[in-house]
Structure 1
Amino acid sequence: MEKKQKFSDILVIGGALFAMFFGAGNLIFPPLLGQQSGTSWFIGFLFFFIFDVGLALVAILALVRKGQFEINGITDVMGKVPSTIINCIAVLCIGPLLAIPRTAATTFEIGVQPLAPNFSTWIFSAIFFAIVLALTIRPSKVVDIIGAFLTPVLVITLLVMIIKGIISPLGPIDLPETTNPVQNGTLNGYQTLDVLASMIFIMIITSSAQGKGYTEGHSLSKAVLSSSCVASIGLFVIYGGLTYLGATTCNLADMQGLNQTALLVAITKALFGNTGVILLGVIVLFACLTTAIGLSSSTGAFFEELTGGKVSYKKVVIIVVVFSWLISNAGVSTIIQFSAPLLNLVYPGVLVLIILAFFHKSIKNKNIYRVATYFAIIVSALEILAGFGLPTGFVKFLPLAPMGFAWIVPAIVGGIIGKFIPCKD
């Protein structure tokens, strides 16, 4: 019998999803985006939200529509080998390669370094990941720990900070520093990694919903969608508030030229003084811990399934935590600098697959997916190479290239070409 949906269940699962999405990238990027966008802060924020939460929600909706609650539901049309490669790259990006190390690095630079400048990053990150390991090693408890205990503290501290900034703005919002808030918002949205994470998080959220009794197809889909909407609403409010706070620093000379973490520290100190720095430390700690827990758990489950159980969940989690500990000590700026080209390469192809997944009932030829995806990846690769000084700058003349979407038209062309290539599977 189909279980009737309970608001309390949806709130807990949605709160957990919110907390897992709202991690290091989500915390540090909106304020700088707001400062750079100035009077166009809402436009920058809107595109940030669309290419972060919006597309993450689209990915979840696509998986629910197909009735497949795992990453393969998006990538399986590419064939076994390409699908496995894409899945592994996505999981590594949101796992030990980029996202998980960034959680510890962000926590240290924002929550620890301003208060204890001489404290060792190696010691702190070891403590941080010891906590992550302890809370991740038992997957059945992960979502309830995050949703029921950590999320309320995270939300309250953030809302206090935002409300204070709205009541007492730091300064007037001036003309934008950047002339392209659309592209800036889009690229910042990529950096949060939430689109990639959504295809992994859906597994743990689905498992949680099933554990609460939503086992039937319709009730399960409805619970996942309702929880996703709860998380999206919360993220819209928090993202918008942080972007606005950044926009109010446009005219403050002492806040110009700061990186993502330093600007967030400066804003909080201006709003609350030294007490604010402590408050920010609490915000960062819970935001990054919850994300690291969710990502580590999902990564462990993915590779255990990929290896057919030959590598256990516990072993994967331990490897992920240790590797993330080592990478995290490179610092936030280095991790972001390293991640930008990789994400700009991976995202367009994944976005093509997500969008086309909505039309899976109408698409009979899998080569439509494949050629469209390959064309998007190729154009993205050419853009990255141009950034390194190689003679591939002609891609900047493609339609929508100034907005950061040079891959869209080639993907459409690739899909059309794929339609006329016979498919053998």
Structure 2
Amino acid sequence: MRFSKQTFVTAFALFSLFFGAGNLIFPAFLGYNAGDGWLMVSIGFVLSAVVIPILAIYGHAKLQGTMMDFGKKVSPTFAFIYSLVVYVISVSFPSPRTASVTYELAIEPYLKPTFEMSSWQFSTVYFLLVLVFALNRSKVMDIIGKFLTPGILIILGSIVCIGFFGEYEPLRASIYVSNLTSGILEGYQTFDAIGGVLVGGVLVISLSLKGVSKEESKSVIAKAGLLAGLGFVFMYVGMIALGAYNSGTLDINNRTELLNLLSYNTLGSIGRTALGVLVALACFTTAVGIVTGTADFFKGLFNDSRKAYIITAVISSVLGVVMGQLDVNAIIVVAFPALMLIYPITIALILLNAIPEKYASALVFKAVVVVTIVCSIPDFFSTIGFADAVQPIQEFLPFGTVTLGWLLPALFAFVLVNLIQYKRKES
């Protein structure tokens, strides 16, 4: 298998567009809590935080279209509503959250008390830079792939590699009842499945603007997805293992504290500065991907209007400044109910678009998506204050108590409809 320069640049860009602050802080703390069960939680985390998002990239490589194409087999109306909801959620919550995380972890601790910079001031500068990158979207992949991603890989790779040479106490026992399930659910919370559907469209359009043909684009994106996936596996498993090795040595209560200590213990005082740079790079590239993807979507709705692209990018950036004034926890709490409904639908669409078309007819799409939506509703109502009312339903559905009640019913619908269609062809 040959890899061109464009493939490597695309792979680096893909890695960076995916890699946000959540991807940075989840793995180490997961390993810390898993202790001697770190290998099984690693497998679970990789399944939900690497395999599914990369399958979304493969789906885009096959479709060579936008997010609208992911749901078009259900119906054009569904595809539009789904895409609109995802983009509105993305620019309203995850994108502003990148500014909040950067300010709280990478800016504020280093400026105080010698220099005061308010959250308003920082968010304004931050999203002005995001807007500059978005308006130069034909250069986005090259800039991110050639410069920003190597910085992330060098810093995080140094923390992981140097950390393995430390001296640690024996690993403590895992706190989880099921290490595999806990790993899957923690990866579920990264929301990278949505990122895969969004970012994949950015890659397709960016390569098109660079004059890459559709056939070549399919190959480039597929190979880039493989390379980026391997990079994620290395980083995630490395951070999970490093957190586990420290489980018997450190007494930690939260993710950020553990990450700070790991960076300090491996790279010394420069480690904390490096962590700040890493957080800033990871968050910034994610924000660029979200704003660019959203602007692409609305540009397509208005006959490829450049004006629509610019207006959407500006509005998304202004919204980022306003919503970015909320602290990180507040943004997560507000966004969580909507994500509990949209995320299962996204996973279902990714898997259906990734498998061979003979198993994913329009009827299969409709059945699986409808079942997924219906079985996800209890999880949605549980997060907005109706937990007691929907608890019996969650307990009735397999895996319903761990917010995966949609999974087996959707799988059953997939198998049943395919069997019915097969029988019809036979007769």
The residue type paired with residue 300 of structure 2 is E
Partner of 1:49: 46
Aligned-pair CA distance for 1:373: 1.2
The residue type paired with residue 34 of structure 1 is G
In the TM superposition, 1:244-393 aligns within 5 A as 244-252=241-249, 254-255=251-252, 257-258=253-254, 260-309=255-304, 312-359=308-355, 361-363=357-359, 366-386=362-382, 388=385, 389-393=387-391
Aligned-pair CA distance for 1:180: 3.2
Does the 8 Å CA contact 1:372/1:411 hold for their aligned counterparts? yes
Match 1:96 to one of 84, 91, 95: 91
Does the 8 Å CA contact 2:134/2:140 hold for their aligned counterparts? yes
1:43–1:341 Cα change, 3 Å: farther
Aligned-pair CA distance for 1:357: 2.5
Q: Considering only aligned residues, what root-mean-square deviation do their CA atoms show, in Å? A: 2.6
Partner of 1:410: 409
Greater mean alpha carbon deviation, residues 289-298 or residues 14-23: 289-298
Q: Deviations over 1:66-125 (max 9, x none)?
A: x333212321112122111111122233x3122211211221222123323454222222
Secondary structure class of the residue paired with 2:66: coil
TM-score normalized by structure 1? 0.89
The residue type paired with residue 193 of structure 2 is V
Q: Which runs of 5+ in 2 are unaligned?
A: 422-427
Q: Deviations over 1:339-375 (max 9, x none)?
A: 3332222121222222223456325853332232122
Q: Distance in 2 between matches of 1:410 and 1:133?
A: 42
The residue type paired with residue 16 of structure 2 is A
1:125–1:42 Cα change, 3 Å: farther
Aligned-pair CA distance for 1:213: 5.0
Q: Distance in 2 between matches of 1:176 and 1:216?
A: 48
Using the aligned pairs only, state the percent identity. Answer: 27
Secondary structure class of the residue paired with 1:30: helix
Aligned-pair CA distance for 1:20: 0.6
Q: Which runs of 5+ in 1 are unaligned?
A: none
Partner of 1:145: 143
Partner of 1:193: 191
Aligned-pair CA distance for 1:268: 1.8
The residue type paired with residue 6 of structure 2 is D
Does the 8 Å CA contact 2:291/2:313 hold for their aligned counterparts? yes
Find out whether 1:29 has 2:26 as its counterpart. yes
Match 2:153 to one of 142, 152, 155: 155
Does the 8 Å CA contact 2:98/2:286 hold for their aligned counterparts? yes
TM-score normalized by structure 2? 0.88
Q: Distance in 2 between matches of 1:191 and 1:97?
A: 17
Secondary structure class of the residue paired with 1:168: coil
In the TM superposition, 1:115-134 aligns within 5 A as 115-117=110-112, 119=116, 120-134=118-132
Does the 8 Å CA contact 1:71/1:87 hold for their aligned counterparts? yes
1:55–1:169 Cα change, 3 Å: farther
Does the 8 Å CA contact 2:103/2:119 hold for their aligned counterparts? yes
**Matched positions, count:** 413
Secondary structure class of the residue paired with 2:357: coil
Does the 8 Å CA contact 2:97/2:328 hold for their aligned counterparts? yes
The residue type paired with residue 325 of structure 2 is N
Q: Deviations over 1:32-78 (max 9, x none)?
A: 2122222222222222221122111112223333x333212321112
Does the 8 Å CA contact 1:111/1:277 hold for their aligned counterparts? no
Q: Distance in 1 between matches of 2:263 and 2:371?
A: 44
